[in-house]
Chains A and B, each alone.
Chain A
Amino acid sequence: MALLARTVQERKEGSTLVVEGVNVPSPRTELLIRAENIKDLVQPEGTPKETCYMCALGLDVKHTDVLILSQFVRSDGCMLPRRITGLCRRQQKKIGKMVSMAQKAGLMINLTPSFCKKDPKKRFGFKKFNSYFDETTIFQKKKLTPFEHIKYR
């Protein structure tokens, strides 16, 4: 299985500028880790047979694991949509939240838009200080404060 991806190349032929899409093999295919290729991977009981590749691997990804999270973003640090990542809804939400956690903590500062200053300490106001995040809060329901309890009754 050779996966292909496209790049847009520009070249000059005489006085005409030719812009064409060229199929290039994906550099990731050889390094790809899939659960079905690992022999002694024990899946916990109750795991459905049809899962996406992240659920099947069962990795405990944290927001500080930038080497994994950076695979799911574009070069401007934006999370890729689900039709490209191929994740299930829950994993897409989880990875997306962790990408924004890593961005807020300034851990993927090289994957940011071009107008970014590329230094977390030069950010504005409270953003210039370090902050860490708790991954258990991702699927946590919002706790109502005592006042909101009365408001939404």
Chain B
Amino acid sequence: MSAAKRVQQWATFARTWHIFDCKWQDPYQSADLIKKYLMGMHKPIYHPMNDCGDVVVCINSRDIALRGDEWKKRAYFHHTGYPGGASWTLAWEVHNKDPTMIIKKAVYRSMKGNLQRRHTMERLLIYPDEEVPEDVLQNVTNQIRQLRLVPTRLDHIPEDEVRKFPKVMDYPKDYVYK
């Protein structure tokens, strides 16, 4: 067995720890990606009865991005079980309360509801910012590539670069600067 094959063998049978940066990522699109690593679907030995799933550490969950006006349109339903106990909470209110809940619910929803799901969810660790405990971070060996590019703010680009950037629009002759 070659050295590369031996590493592949270890990577398949060991529980690998992956890290995922949620900054500017859509939680519902990333959930489909995270789910694959959590359940071990990226491994050739995958089988639903086979406990080969990995651990995923999500960081910066406070900086997730929802599409369009979904922050105020998407509602999360909860029922206490008592009559009149139904409540609908908007996504931004949920995120205000607990910045890890939206990504947790998105991953939970993306998986099929069976007896394995709760155990698989135990392997998902979510942190609202970049502060991850040292004993968690020392296990991480892989980073999952982000789905969306993180946009750059105009005020974070150096002023000189903004001025020297090629222009498409020029002011007309009688334009008064404002």
Where the two chains meet, the residues of A that have a C-beta atom closer than 8 Å to any C-beta of B are 3-8, 21, 26-29, 31-33, 53-54, 57, 59, 64, 66-68, 70-72, 74-76, 83-86, 105-111, 118, 125-126, 129-134, 137
Asked if B115 is at the interface of the complex by the 8 Å CB criterion, the answer is no
Where the two chains meet, the residues of B that have a C-beta atom closer than 8 Å to any C-beta of A are 24, 26, 63-72, 90-92, 95, 148-149, 151-155, 157, 162-178
Give the docked Cα–Cα distance between A26 and B151 (Å). Answer: 29
In the bound complex, residues from chain A placing their C-beta under 8 Å from that of B68 are 131, 133-134, 137
Asked whether A8 and B176 contact (CB < 8 A) given A3-B170, A27-B163, the answer is yes
In the bound complex, residues from chain A placing their C-beta under 8 Å from that of B164 are 31
Does the CB pair A131–B69 fall under 8 Å? yes
Asked whether A32 and B167 contact (CB < 8 A) given A5-B175, A6-B174, A107-B153, the answer is yes
Does the CB pair B167–A33 fall under 8 Å? yes
Give the docked Cα–Cα distance between A5 and B178 (Å). Answer: 11
Asked whether A6 and B162 contact (CB < 8 A) given A32-B167, A32-B170, A66-B153, the answer is no
In the bound complex, residues from chain B placing their C-beta under 8 Å from that of A54 are 168
Does the CB pair A126–B92 fall under 8 Å? yes
Does the CB pair A29–B170 fall under 8 Å? yes
In the bound complex, residues from chain B placing their C-beta under 8 Å from that of A130 are 24, 63-66
Does the CB pair A57–B154 fall under 8 Å? no
Asked whether A132 and B67 contact (CB < 8 A) given A84-B175, A126-B90, the answer is yes
In the bound complex, residues from chain A placing their C-beta under 8 Å from that of B71 are 126, 129, 131
Does the CB pair A5–B176 fall under 8 Å? yes
21 sample A-B contacts, Cβ–Cβ < 8 Å, listed by A number: A3-B170, A5-B172, A5-B177, A26-B171, A29-B170, A31-B164, A32-B166, A32-B168, A33-B167, A75-B178, A76-B178, A86-B172, A107-B151, A111-B154, A125-B92, A126-B91, A129-B95, A131-B65, A131-B67, A132-B24, A132-B148
In the bound complex, residues from chain A placing their C-beta under 8 Å from that of B26 are 132
Give the docked Cα–Cα distance between A36 and B24 (Å). Answer: 38
